[in-house]
């Protein structure tokens, strides 16, 4: 049975998901906000950030909100723009809204499913997250992600509808843990990039990833997440990929900062806003998150990388 799916957001990740699902036989509509972008995609059938990948001829592309009516809608929208898009493009009650973004909304402190619950209360809220690069998904390379939905029955249906031969989804009923893992690992990836860019070495990166993972668990458990979620694809797995690959936007952003270079402009670096949100939450709720707090301070230009490094190394000695 053909499954109808809408994908909001024609960036690299949204386009990659649309390509993979359409290629697998789903009836997919890809929505882009710009009519000019739609025209270019229809003419060339190519996405600039997915070189060498051709959009399937069956994949529909539109900027018309009225064309969106599938029972499943993937929201491949940057986190800080998600609330605006939920309000601009409301979904019918009962529609499954699957967030494909990672971060914490700066104005509310909510994650993706929290925003969906607030702005689309009649819809099913879920999040799709984990270690993945858009180009790998688009090229049909094996990729595993977490599909988290508090409603176990709805989550099972979404898992079946969104899995393909090469895109393997693992189901979870802990959206809080899944989305916090996906958000916090971006901050740790920026920090890891700073370490490498500043020439502090691979041993320092290993130590930072280990202690950064502790911070991810600390905040997530405080917010009601389950520890096994953070140990899975959406936490540990995503951190490993994002904090070690030169293809990671957050890592390369941090590496440029660490080397004293200007980061490239235009790419979405979700960890920047997430670091600010996490530092605020940690301060308000008394949660010890030194690495995330230092990343925020460096990004706010209140500390240099050298000062942040010295402050972390000067912390009291303790048991692991």
pLDDT computed for residue 2 by the predictor: 75
Place of tokens 């809220």: 125
pLDDT at 203: 98
pTM comes to 0.95
Does 212 lie in the same domain as 105?
no
Task: Looking at the structure, tell me whether residues 157 and 12 fall in a common domain.
Answer: yes
Place of tokens 């460096």: 298
Is 157 annotated in the active site? no
Place of tokens 């000019």: 36
Scanning the structure block, which residue is given the tokens 């990671």?
Answer: 248
Residues that constitute the known binding site for NAD(+): 9-14, 134, 249
Dihedral, CA atoms, 92, 1, 32, 106, nearest 10 degrees? 60
Q: Is residue 128 part of a domain?
A: yes
Quote the pLDDT of residue 167. 98
Strand pairing class (60-62; 27-31): parallel
Q: Which of 73, 185, 205, 255 is catalytic?
A: 185
Among 173, 191, 212, give the residue marking a domain's end. 173
* Structure confidence at residue 1 (pLDDT): 56
Report strand pairing: 143-149 vs 124-129.
Answer: antiparallel
> What pLDDT does residue 88 have?
84
Question: Does one domain contain both 87 and 116?
Answer: yes
Q: Which of 118, 152, 173 is the last residue of a domain?
A: 173
Residue 180 sits in the same domain as residue 169: no
Residue 7, pLDDT score:
98
Does 319 fall in a domain?
Answer: no
Residue that finishes a domain, picked among 134, 155, 173: 173
**In a shared domain, residues 203 and 144:** no
- 236 found inside a domain: yes
* Total domains in the fold of the chain: 2
Longest dimension (CA), the chain: 61
Same domain, 162 and 84: yes
Residue with tokens 């973004």: 101
Q: Is residue 318 part of a domain?
A: no
Q: Residue 218 maps to which CATH number?
A: 1.10.1040.10
Q: Are residues 185 and 168 in the same domain?
A: no
In this prediction, the residues of the chain whose per-residue pLDDT falls under 70 are: 1
144: domain range?
4-173
Residue 101 lies in a domain: yes
Residue numbering of the annotated binding site for sn-glycerol 3-phosphate: 102, 130, 132, 185, 238, 248-250
Query: How far is 26 from 18, CA to CA, in rounded Å?
Result: 9
Residue 26 is part of a domain; what is its CATH number?
A: 3.40.50.720
Same domain, yes or no: 83 and 113: yes
Residue 320: inside a domain = no
- 233 assigned to some structural domain: yes
In a domain, 24, yes or no: yes
Q: Which residues are annotated as a binding site?
A: 9-14, 33, 102, 130, 132, 134, 185, 238, 248-250, 270
Binding residue positions for NADPH: 13, 33, 102, 134, 249, 270
Q: Are residues 205 and 92 in the same domain?
A: no
Residues 102 and 27 in one domain: yes
């Amino acid at each position: 049975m053909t499954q109808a799916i809408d994908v909001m957001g024609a960036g690299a990740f949204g386009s990659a998901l649309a390509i993979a699902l359409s290629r697998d036989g789903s009836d997919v509509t890809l929505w882009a906000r710009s009519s000019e972008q739609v025209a270019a995609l229809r003419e060339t059938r190519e996405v600039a950030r997915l070189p060498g990948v051709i959009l399937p001829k069956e994949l529909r592309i539109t900027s018309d909100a009225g064309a969106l009516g599938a029972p499943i809608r993937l929201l491949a929208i940057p986190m800080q723009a998600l609330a605006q898009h939920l309000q601009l493009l409301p979904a019918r009650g009962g529609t499954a809204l699957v967030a494909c973004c990672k971060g914490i909304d700066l104005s509310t402190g909510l994650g993706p499913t929290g925003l969906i619950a607030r702005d689309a209360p009649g819809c099913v809220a879920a999040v799709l997250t984990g270690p993945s690069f858009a180009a790998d998904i688009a090229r049909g390379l094996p990729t595993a992600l977490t599909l988290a939905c508090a409603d176990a029955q709805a989550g099972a249906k979404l898992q079946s509808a969104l899995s393909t031969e090469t895109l393997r989804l693992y189901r979870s009923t802990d959206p809080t843990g899944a989305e916090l893992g996906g958000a916090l690992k971006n901050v740790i990836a920026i920090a890891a990039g700073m370490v490498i860019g500043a020439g502090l070495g691979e041993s320092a990166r290993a130590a930072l990833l280990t202690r950064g993972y502790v911070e991810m668990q600390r905040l997530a458990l405080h917010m009601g997440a389950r520890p096994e979620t953070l140990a899975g694809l959406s936490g540990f797995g995503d951190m490993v990929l994002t904090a070690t690959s030169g293809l990671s936007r957050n890592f390369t952003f941090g590496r440029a900062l660490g080397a004293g270079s200007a980061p490239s402009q235009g790419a979405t670096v979700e960890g920047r806003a997430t670091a600010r949100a996490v530092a605020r939450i940690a301060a308000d709720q008394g949660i010890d998150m030194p690495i995330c707090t230092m990343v925020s301070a460096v990004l706010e230009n209140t500390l240099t990388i050298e000062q942040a490094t010295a402050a972390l190394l000067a912390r009291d000695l303790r048991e692991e």
